[in-house]
Amino acid sequence: MSAKNEKISLDIEAYLKEHENKKMLRFLTCGSVDDGKSTLIGRLLYDSKMIFDDQLSAAQRESKKYGTTGKTLDMALLVDGLQSEREQGITIDVAYRFFATQKRKFIIADTPGHEQYTRNMVTGASTADVAIILIDARKGILTQTRRHSFIVNLLGIEHVIIAANKMDLVDFSEDVFNAIKKAYESLATELGIKNRYYIPLSALNGDNVVNQSDNTPWYHGKPLLELLDTMDISKEIKEEEFRFPVQYVNRPNLDFRGFCGTVASGSVKVGDEITVLPSGKTTKVKSIINAGDITKENNSVPCNTVYAPMAVTITTEDEIDISRGDMLVHTKAMPRVSNALKVMLVWMDETPMQVGKTYEIKSASSFISGHVEHINYKIDINTYKREQVQALQLNDIASCKITLTRPIAADKYKENRQTGSFVIIDRVTNNTVGAGMIVDVAAREHERKSQTRNYTDSEKALNQYIRENFPEWNCKVI
């Protein structure tokens, strides 16, 4: 029995408590087709002894049927779960896996490498803290490397690990590794990627994945798992950046009215002055109730300070109108409120995006109608050149202007990933057809502009008659 399993059998509650207090790191693997993304994750899970016996037995049986590694265990089958993935030996959908070390908990997103599944890669990258970009040591930097690097940078992932995989097929050549590093440095500088780390490895054999490899004596850095375990991804929590999208108004009786939600960023304490957006009404925090702290009498325990990503209920000193979709923020540091947004949009549906068509747009807890008013340019993510287009096709990425039917509070994505992102939903099919990052919150468009309509000749004549004969009415046909 392993030390971990022995600990679980002796005191399961202590084991769970230990893991509860560990910090979480989310990372994704991306790269071109057959670069070894799924194999790398399988090797991480296998070497860190995070595979259950039944999973291992199933993978061994599947290796005989679908495996591409001869008689040895095909590590990729520990991750690729779809039948079509196993038959083709590729990743199609995003696969999430969970494991933990003595220091951290991890959520891994294994994303597909094929160009046609770029939207799936965007989905996996949207919540990641770190990106591992695999490069086949035999092939060097490919078009898909550039594509995924662009998307990683677009989605605000600040830590990028460049893993030169399949080093065993180039005899662990230091010159090959240095050439890949030099080429990617040029690409990273072009994109503005902040933190880069380079590792030579063989996911198939485990070189530099969990343990330092004797085959690369010239490499003096950390193996991959140790790097992930020790990487500093923390960001300074600024109290003034408090953002609290209201998800639900809790009114169990006449004496209580609380506003439930998850703190998106920052922190707040009892007595802080807050503003409700988009209305602009100001009040103070009266109390904060943390749903996670329960007494023996099953009553929630009040607390003085909360911070992201805690789920809490907040009450206010004043009775003001607050409802689902509103946002509570610190009065001293408010986001802009507008119905006009400049965005980077990733189109994720096979039906092309139409300029002027009304879609539903979900940002934080807000659900609003809106339309793409103008496509500024589309980006060719193979060359990073800008192109003029009239519509967006599947997997296209473009700079657009979006106009909403009412104003919302929003931040720039690079400043706040939680309140600076949104998804677009088709009103007829209810499919999620696009995802976007807010680049800038424009000056508010006149609300009547989003409500303009085409009048019939008879309606125009009636409006003209009203203006001429009853100017004091100040009205028209709507």
- pLDDT given for residue 248 in this prediction: 93
DSSP code per residue over 330-394 = ETTSPPEEEEEEEEEEEE-SSSPEETT-EEEEEETTEEEEEEEEEEEEEEETTTTEEE--SEE-T
Tell me the pTM.
Answer: 0.76
Q: Does the structure show a pLDDT above 50 at 296?
A: no
- pLDDT given for residue 112 in this prediction: 73
Same domain, 73 and 222: yes
Residue 77, both tokens: 């089958």
Domain count, the chain: 3
Average pLDDT over residues 68-78: 57
- pLDDT given for residue 309 in this prediction: 83
Please count the other Cβ atoms lying within 10 Å of the Cβ belonging to residue 197.
17
Residue 8: CATH number of its domain: 3.40.50.300
Q: What percent of the chain has pLDDT over 70?
A: 74
Same domain, 268 and 244: yes
Average pLDDT over residues 444-452: 49
Same domain, 395 and 251: no
- pLDDT given for residue 446 in this prediction: 53
Confidence of residue 297 (pLDDT cuts 50, 70, 90): very low
The residue ranking higher by pLDDT, 478 or 328, is 328
Q: Give yes or no for a contact between 109 and 91, defined as CB atoms under 8 angstroms apart.
A: no
- pLDDT given for residue 113 in this prediction: 63
Kindly calculate the radius of gyration of the chain based on its CA atoms and give it in whole angstroms: 26
Considering the domain boundaries, does residue 472 fall inside one?
no
Confidence of residue 42 (pLDDT cuts 50, 70, 90): confident
Residue 346's φ and ψ, nearest 5 degrees, are -105, 115
Same domain, 95 and 116: yes
- pLDDT given for residue 372 in this prediction: 95
- Residues 341, 412: Cα–Cα separation, whole Å: 10
Task: Please provide the average confidence, as pLDDT, over all residues in the chain.
Answer: 81
Q: Does the structure show a pLDDT above 50 at 180?
A: yes
Q: What is the tens place of the pLDDT at every residue in 398-420?
A: 999 999 999 999 999 988 888 99
What's the N-to-C CA distance of the chain in angstroms?
76
- pLDDT given for residue 450 in this prediction: 41
- Residues 367, 430: Cα–Cα separation, whole Å: 13
- Residues 69, 184: Cα–Cα separation, whole Å: 29
Considering the domain boundaries, does residue 55 fall inside one?
yes
- pLDDT given for residue 330 in this prediction: 94
Q: Does the structure show a pLDDT above 90 at 271?
A: yes
The residue ranking higher by pLDDT, 298 or 336, is 336
Q: SS3 of 393, please?
A: coil
Of 166-180, 219-233, 269-283, 300-314, which range is least confident? 300-314
Q: Give yes or no for a contact between 345 and 370, defined as CB atoms under 8 angstroms apart.
A: no
Considering the domain boundaries, does residue 204 fall inside one?
yes
Same domain, 113 and 245: no
Same domain, 438 and 295: no
Same domain, 163 and 287: no
Please count the other Cβ atoms lying within 10 Å of the Cβ belonging to residue 134.
26
- Residues 398, 431: Cα–Cα separation, whole Å: 20
- Residues 106, 100: Cα–Cα separation, whole Å: 6
Considering the domain boundaries, does residue 53 fall inside one?
yes
Same domain, 95 and 198: yes
Q: Does the structure show a pLDDT above 90 at 368?
A: yes
Same domain, 95 and 216: yes
- pLDDT given for residue 427 in this prediction: 92
- Residues 204, 163: Cα–Cα separation, whole Å: 13
Considering the domain boundaries, does residue 463 fall inside one?
no
Of 71-75, 217-221, 375-379, which range is least confident? 71-75
Of 37-51, 220-234, 385-399, which range is least confident? 37-51
Same domain, 221 and 247: no
- Residues 249, 320: Cα–Cα separation, whole Å: 12
Same domain, 166 and 92: yes
Considering the domain boundaries, does residue 169 fall inside one?
yes
- pLDDT given for residue 254 in this prediction: 86
> Which of 297, 330, 363 is at the close of a domain?
330
> Which of 287, 310, 330 is at the close of a domain?
330
**Residue 257 backbone zone (phi > 0: left; psi -120 to 50: alpha; other: beta):** beta
Considering the domain boundaries, does residue 462 fall inside one?
no
Q: Does the structure show a pLDDT above 80 at 257?
A: yes
Q: Does the structure show a pLDDT above 60 at 458?
A: yes
- Residues 294, 292: Cα–Cα separation, whole Å: 6
- pLDDT given for residue 91 in this prediction: 43
> Which of 198, 230, 262 is at the close of a domain?
230
Q: Which residues constitute the domain of residue 435?
A: 336-445
- Residues 126, 27: Cα–Cα separation, whole Å: 10
- Residues 381, 398: Cα–Cα separation, whole Å: 10
Residue reference for tokens 């600040």: 158
Considering the domain boundaries, does residue 129 fall inside one?
yes
Residue 295: CATH number of its domain: 2.40.30.10
Average pLDDT over residues 359-364: 93
Same domain, 76 and 100: yes
Q: Give yes or no for a contact between 163 and 132, defined as CB atoms under 8 angstroms apart.
A: yes
